[in-house]
Amino acid sequence: MSSHHGNTPAAWTAVVVGLLGFTVGGVGLMFDPAKMMIFWVGVVIVVVAGVLFLVMDRLGMGTER
């Protein structure tokens, strides 16, 4: 791996959005009874993080220049 592996705007944005999605999903599961709609919103946010990374990578923000 190179010295800048994962140190790009695309990678950091995807990680932050993914962590937000996991947090939202986890909060949804902590309710009694579990709020499955909030959980699924978290899952969608995690999927959006992956798509966001791919789009930003294609725009050139995924590689060091």
User: Would the pLDDT of 46 be above 70?
Assistant: yes
What per-residue string of b and e applies to 3-40 under the rule 16 or more CB within 10 Å gives b? eeeeebebbebbeebbeebeebbeebeeeeeeeeebbe
pLDDT above 90: percentage of residues in the chain: 71
What pLDDT score was predicted for residue 63?
Answer: 76
User: Would the pLDDT of 65 be above 80?
Assistant: no
pTM (predicted TM-score): 0.85
Q: In this predicted structure, which of 3-7, 37-41, 45-49 has the lowest mean pLDDT?
A: 3-7
The per-residue pLDDT for range 22-39, each reduced to its tens digit, is: 999 999 999 888 889 999
Q: How far is CA 6 from the centre of its chain?
A: 14
